[in-house]
Structure 1
């Protein structure tokens, strides 16, 4: 791997395939990061209109099926594109374009076979899987989500191929097309189903069918770029020759497939950890609710209520992860230069940032749970559970940022192991708490399991980088959080009485949005004034010098 990195670094200034320099590499990374952020935001926020149109039971079925689909595709959408890009980059460095083409053929054949093999049991065994989930009417949704297995794996192979050539625009365009068309397709099918009076099972199937529709659009973009690059006719001839490969060529492809699998395994194991938590809930919470006496439809509707807070938590964690990722290059550079003092300083700052931002988000979501619930979902059902789920924003944020730090320090397996341990703990706590406390018990189990992963990640960062949480800085953050809560809770209650004449959803929107703005402003001002973040730490960030000067001019940030 070290030799590979040296080859890439030496060739970055001379290889046309790599864009001709470090600036292009950074631009490509920024483009992929922006596309991923927008795609994830679309994928998260589309759940809100789904619940508004179809109701809590359909929302519950969708949230039960989606983690299973995400788990099955995590292998091809995470590990394999990285593995493919590594092998293609190796060939491009040496100018072996035909070798890069063979890697693409091998990966496309391998991943198409993977999708086809998984499609058969998922389609044929949908009724059994739905029964395991606790709602037999989820079977149609499982079958519709299985259709994506025909297109998404091949799309992942093409994305990895272009990323290996350091051409990020095709992958970014494919990601955005996939998510945009997926959301549009889902909403269109929901509107059609609502107009024609479809039942819950068909509505949920229409929602999950959006994955196959979006995957087809994303694949079409990649294939269109590929065909245009190779002038169509030549590609058709190459495709036609795949079935008649000579034995030597087929042996070469098999060897490439084996190497791809070995390279993909480490990244894949990490990618499987996060959707595993969702799968645990899908296969335990509805069944445990039914065992406690709820009917099938009622149990899945309760699971939908339980899922209401998750899109916002996912959004918070996603934004925090994107912000934290910007801090990781400095940490990685310090590690490569052997600068332990800088490693400790950067890791300490990220830890403090993670706990402060996560705690602020958790307090805000818990305090504003009722108006946010009404604003997004039109009623206040399940508000207590919504508030409890909102509290997982703390542990989720810390886990996301500590995982990024550990990867920057070279410890790539530890975050995956922590999340897998959290999934096992979540299953055990669900079994203990859901029968007695229902969906509130499932939310409490999530808080405990994710907090365990967050504490493990924090401990690993402290050991790996010597990071610490200085008492003075920690006290400043705690005081800022207390001030935020002290201002936000009475302000929300007072504003609620003033907004009484407005329609309920409009009043809730004003309360929620105003509360988020107020809480964020108060927390930021307090954490700066009380020393939670120093001017010196801000100056160490990209563009932090100018920001620190402006904050000091506004007297929000004490001078050194």
Structure 2
């Protein structure tokens, strides 16, 4: 009886920690995604293009060095803690810190020494200073990843959450400060871009400092505590045996081997995400040089990159929705409930296609006012609208990847994205020379759509999910048509009314934000009334019955539902 409160307290603490970590990750990703907008506003499209050409390379190398290690470290630390072996947990931290520090140093040397070579691959020598500045972050970020994994293994999510928020906030603040200084001193575009990318090192240093403060405080507390009794260690012998029955597992080399074995599959999967952006960085500017010239190639690449922050934001939200829906699907799989598995998979994938289509249609119709609102002019609006089309495929990819990973199929999403990257490279070579950035955007639509279709087929095969019924598809199509018609009328009518009354950017902001709210409300209302979203779908969600009852009272659900 006495153990029950502790158990409940432990579960509550676990959920609080997960919630804190989830919120911190969401806020950090929003900051990291939207920080590109003030960068373009302050420095212009060429600096924006340099940044978008260089930063994916840093993300790729950082993923190769650190991806998977926080999870691997947290797993091994949690095992040692469960066995009552705090010294073993310290050894895991030491081994991971050493391994990641060496890897980060090697990555720094590669980027710093090879900056001119990589700039040649991109097609503009002006990117070399920015490449060197991003390399500085590799001195601090890998060690920070090791410390975050350590505290997550202890079940203490607050240090990682605080570190993430501090890192991203200071990164953006440092970027803006250096841009302001450079602008006042008259720096050239390559130097401004280098100042922007240096924010990663500044933010990483602050994030590492936060983790270091937590570590120093723990070290002081540890020095004042008595060692655990031998009986406590003996009582954990059974758990200890489950970890590894080899005596040498406490050795540094054994820990490094196990960390690498756990982290490598995750790292390979993480490489697939920035691979698509790296393909663009290494192909689009070079291909544009033949049509717009050396001086304007990266400026055009900056225009091409304008729509990406919003698409990334949509995909990030989709990934969060997918992560929220996956536990019910995984629970049905564990129970052996095939019917429940199919039902949850159907709802999850219908959500992916519906939300992705609504986001894509809305962004395409509102492309011009959004472009003006965010970037002060309508340059590159066609490419912006074409890039916005990838919101559909990106949403399906994100949610399908979450489903497949929840089912234990981690290689599928990675292979699909790598195939998409290869297809993107081939299509860039064909479409960019004649069509410029519009061709690059069309290549992205084709490549990501191919990956989305492969992912959807993989989910159907893994779960037995059926295709969307014709009646439901018709209802969703009607909802999209209602939303699109309303947005077209609102955009044209609003432009005529607001244009003479407000400055262009203010008028665009009213149209963009008002259109987004109107479009979302009309889409969901029409989807509910037309049968695109049904009561049975809502009932499968947490508190779904109460949601369905409320919507029925508001007459958004038909009476028969």
Same fold (TM over 0.5): yes
The 5 A counterparts of 1:353-372 are 353-372=351-370
Instruction: Provide the rounded CA distance (Å) in 2 between the counterparts of 1:140 and 1:234.
Output: 45
Q: Report the counterpart of residue 178 of structure 1 in structure 2.
A: 167
Using the TM superposition, give the Cα deviation of residue 195 of structure 1 relative to its aligned residue in structure 2, in angstroms.
1.1
Instruction: Provide the rounded CA distance (Å) in 2 between the counterparts of 1:20 and 1:131.
Output: 57
Q: Does 1:61 align with 2:50?
A: yes
Q: Does 1:114 align with 2:98?
A: no
**8 Å contact from structure 1 (residues 174, 222) kept in 2:** yes
Q: Does 1:499 align with 2:498?
A: yes
Aligned in 2, Cα 1:202/1:15: closer, same or farther, shift over 3 Å? farther
Using the TM superposition, give the Cα deviation of residue 491 of structure 1 relative to its aligned residue in structure 2, in angstroms.
1.9
SS of the aligned residue for 1:558 comes to coil
Deviations 1:67-92 (CA, angstroms, capped at 9, x unpaired): 01011111344311111111111111
Q: Report the counterpart of residue 5 of structure 1 in structure 2.
A: none
Q: Report the counterpart of residue 532 of structure 1 in structure 2.
A: 532
Aligned in 2, Cα 1:15/1:311: closer, same or farther, shift over 3 Å? farther
**8 Å contact from structure 1 (residues 362, 390) kept in 2:** yes
2:302 to 295, 301, 304: 304
Using the TM superposition, give the Cα deviation of residue 266 of structure 1 relative to its aligned residue in structure 2, in angstroms.
1.1
Q: Does 1:446 align with 2:444?
A: yes
The alignment's C-alpha RMSD in Å is 1.9
**8 Å contact from structure 1 (residues 17, 92) kept in 2:** no
Long gaps (5+) in structure 1: 1-12, 236-247
The 5 A counterparts of 1:93-492 are 93-231=82-220, 252-290=251-289, 292-468=290-466, 469-492=468-491
Deviations 1:229-250 (CA, angstroms, capped at 9, x unpaired): 1119969xxxxxxxxxxxx999
Q: Does 1:81 align with 2:70?
A: yes
Using the TM superposition, give the Cα deviation of residue 27 of structure 1 relative to its aligned residue in structure 2, in angstroms.
2.0
**8 Å contact from structure 2 (residues 34, 309) kept in 1:** yes
Instruction: Provide the rounded CA distance (Å) in 1 between the counterparts of 2:163 and 2:3.
Output: 28
Q: Report the counterpart of residue 242 of structure 2 in structure 1.
A: none
Q: Report the counterpart of residue 14 of structure 2 in structure 1.
A: 25
Instruction: Provide the rounded CA distance (Å) in 2 between the counterparts of 1:474 and 1:98.
Output: 58
| TM-score, normalisation: structure 1 | 0.93
Instruction: Provide the rounded CA distance (Å) in 1 between the counterparts of 2:311 and 2:181.
Output: 30
Using the TM superposition, give the Cα deviation of residue 339 of structure 1 relative to its aligned residue in structure 2, in angstroms.
0.5
**8 Å contact from structure 1 (residues 276, 423) kept in 2:** yes
Aligned in 2, Cα 1:171/1:233: closer, same or farther, shift over 3 Å? closer
Instruction: Provide the rounded CA distance (Å) in 1 between the counterparts of 2:387 and 2:10.
Output: 45
Long gaps (5+) in structure 2: 225-246
Shifted more, 92-101 versus 24-33: the winner is: 24-33
Shifted more, 255-264 versus 206-215: the winner is: 255-264
SS of the aligned residue for 2:29 comes to helix
SS of the aligned residue for 2:558 comes to coil
Using the TM superposition, give the Cα deviation of residue 103 of structure 1 relative to its aligned residue in structure 2, in angstroms.
0.3
**8 Å contact from structure 2 (residues 91, 250) kept in 1:** no
Instruction: Provide the rounded CA distance (Å) in 2 between the counterparts of 1:23 and 1:550.
Output: 29
Instruction: Provide the rounded CA distance (Å) in 2 between the counterparts of 1:121 and 1:412.
Output: 29
Deviating beyond 4 angstroms after TM superposition, the runs of 4 or more aligned structure 1 residues are 13-20, 232-235, 248-251
- The number of residue pairs the alignment matches comes to 535
